[in-house]
Amino acid sequence: MKYLTKKYLKRNSLRDWLRVVASSKDTYELRYFRINQDDEDIGDNKKDDEDADNNK
């Protein structure tokens, strides 16, 4: 089920915004990626790299 959901999200260009998370053995959830749009965060590449590592 997780594989098919990820494939669907990729095909419809939604994979950049949503992710599939297994909350338990039989339950999957779709969650939004955290995207900061503050002007201060745009120039701070180190913080963006750390956030990207946390979302993997």
- Residue ranges covered by each domain of the chain: 2-54
Would the pLDDT of 17 be above 50? yes
Entry pTM: 0.46
pLDDT score for 41: 47
The mean pLDDT value for 31-54 works out to 56
Q: How far apart are CA 40 and CA 56, in angstroms?
A: 23
Q: How far apart are CA 31 and CA 41, in angstroms?
A: 22
Band (pLDDT 50/70/90 cuts) for residue 5 is confident
